[in-house]
Structure 1
Amino acid sequence: MTEPLKEISNEFLYLLEGIESTHSTTIERSTNAILLCRKTLHTLKNQVLHSNFASLEDEINFFKNTKQISIMPLIYYSEVRSFELQFPVANSIAQKKHINKKLAKLNRFFIYNIDFVQYIKQGHSHFDHQYFTRKFSDSYHIISSKFYFQDPDFTTARDMLLGKVKAYQKFIEYLKSRFARISLNNSIGQSSKLNSSSNLHWTSSKAGLTELIYALHSTSSINNGDADIKEIAVALQNTFQFDLGDFYKTYAEIKTRKISRTKFLDTLSTGLTSFMEESEN
């Protein structure tokens, strides 16, 4: 059963990558991702119920690893979608308060489940037969009112909890990025009048400017490395009168490039070299 499950998971990851790379809204992407996760989990469930695991190790591997490939994004995008639907539109103060409240709730979750979190973080496996086989599903740990019922033939004592731990870790990074974006937009708004007389406009891509920002930061080229990413981003956006939007997300997309992750910087190097050669003729 290993090969069919691998094919299902690989197809899922391919389709999910396509959804995440679209230019639709966060809510639209989240909704489509949730539907894909549910469909994939249904397919996995049918596969599991109509086949037998070759060994106890295979069953543990499925619930601890394979199922997590689709259950983690389901929980993550469910949280993102719910968060964005309830996100205040009034002002930045209310928005930051909303984010901090959510972060506090997530922190309580990790404190409450600290033993299990450490078990996973340290790579332990001595309780795996209890946590990730259906034989011990009677010791199911109730972790959320969102899941009123789970099929005992497709659920173990801790597989959903593991999905939540991984999803919430990712969701925390999303919330931090959201908070930083609000602060960035405020900084741009406050300083835009000071730079309104500039005739310089960024006419390349968002990805290009993002590459430049991270390159300056990674090489400690500004303030001997004491300037953080956000400060550099604000300065360049103000100078070139250009709104990068969520440049953290853009950077994450740059890192997933298959060919060149420094395409813009490579173009700069090639362009400068050509300019020098032409000026010598």
Structure 2
Amino acid sequence: MKNTLKNILSDVGEYERGVNEKSSTLIDESCVLTTYLSELLAQLKIRVGNVGFTDEAEEINFFKNIKPQILGKLIYYNKVFRIETSCPVYNGKMYEAYFFNELEELKQDFNEHIRNSDFYRYYRSGRTDKDSEYYMLGKINYHNGLSSIVFEIDSSFSTYYDYKVAKIVANELLYHYLLSKTDTDHTINQTLQNSESVKDLFWTDSKNSLIELIYALHASGAISHGKVSIRKINLAFFVLFKIHLGDIHHAFHRMKDRTGSRTAFLDQLKVALEDYMNKNL
């Protein structure tokens, strides 16, 4: 099964980037990716059932690193779709309160069900001594007082703990998404929105290009000596160019897995500026 699994996460990343480039809204993006990831998991379930694994190491890697990433993103995109389609208004105090409430619910869920668990500490510490117990089929110990979700999983395609890792992955993605929705700066917002000089400015390149630029400006310390947060720079560009970038933290981490140049837009800017300089000699 190694050939099937070898590049699957990079393939998922490529598909995500393609959808992100083409989607006009976060609702569209999350809907498409929820369907894609759900179908992918169904295909993997069939392959695991028909082919199995070549050895224990491959099985552990699948249930520890591969399936949880796919399932975690599926949980994340499905939740984003539900949140976005249930949002009462586009902006204002009700909008802010809605996302603050979602963030508080996420924090509460983390505190009650994840943070203090032995498995969470095991996972975060990077330990491997119990991997054969946690990430191989047929090893579920019902005497450990597990969550009732254990009775709902398909034991032929889940070790139970792969689901717990997926929840951790999903919660991290949701946390950054909700932070981007709740970090507002009314002074920046009102100043730019009331300025006639920026009303006809629009970003005409891809969303990923703008995200790349935002992170480059932050990393270089070019804005406020690097002391302003990524989210505030994102907000400024959001108001300036009227473009919703969604979860830029997640998009940035997908960029790090790009094939070829990871700074494609910055490379393009450099070439364009040099060409412009040469024309004006």
Interval of TM-score (by shorter of Structure 1 and Structure 2) = 0.7 to 0.9
Task: Check whether the contact 2:220–2:226 (CA below 8 A) recurs between aligned residues.
Answer: yes
Q: Identity over aligned residues, as a percent?
A: 25
* Equivalent-residue separation in structure 2 for 1:173 and 1:46 (angstroms): 33
Q: Bigger relative contact order, structure 1 or 2, given CA contacts below 8 A and separation 6+?
A: 2
Shift of 1:12: 4.5
User: Cα 1:117–1:242, aligned 2, differ >3 Å: closer, same or farther?
Assistant: same
Shift of 1:141: 3.6
User: Cα 1:82–1:109, aligned 2, differ >3 Å: closer, same or farther?
Assistant: same
User: Cα 1:48–1:254, aligned 2, differ >3 Å: closer, same or farther?
Assistant: closer
Shift of 1:18: 2.7
Structure 1 unaligned segments of length 5 or more: list them.
none
TM-score, structure 1 as length reference: 0.76
Alignment of 1:90-169 (within 5 A): 91-111=91-111, 112-114=113-115, 115-139=118-142, 141-142=146-147, 149-169=152-172
User: Cα 1:90–1:78, aligned 2, differ >3 Å: closer, same or farther?
Assistant: closer
User: Cα 1:88–1:3, aligned 2, differ >3 Å: closer, same or farther?
Assistant: same
Shift of 1:195: 2.7
Aligned to 2:47: 47
* Equivalent-residue separation in structure 1 for 2:235 and 2:53 (angstroms): 54
Alignment of 1:1-281 (within 5 A): 1-6=1-6, 11-89=11-89, 91-111=91-111, 112-114=113-115, 115-139=118-142, 141-142=146-147, 149-180=152-183, 183=184, 186-187=186-187, 190-192=190-192, 195-196=195-196, 198=197, 202=201, 205=204, 214-229=215-230, 242-246=241-245, 249=248, 252=252, 255=255, 258-259=260-261, 260-263=264-267, 265-267=269-271, 269-271=273-275, 273-274=277-278, 278=281
Shift of 1:80: 0.8
Shift of 1:98: 2.0
Structure 2 unaligned segments of length 5 or more: list them.
none
Compare CA radii of gyration and give the structure with the larger one: 1
Shift of 1:84: 0.9
Q: How many residues align?
A: 269
- The one-letter code matched in structure 1 to 2:182 is F
* Equivalent-residue separation in structure 2 for 1:199 and 1:103 (angstroms): 32
- The one-letter code matched in structure 2 to 1:169 is E
Task: Check whether the contact 2:103–2:178 (CA below 8 A) recurs between aligned residues.
Answer: yes
Task: Check whether the contact 2:189–2:236 (CA below 8 A) recurs between aligned residues.
Answer: no
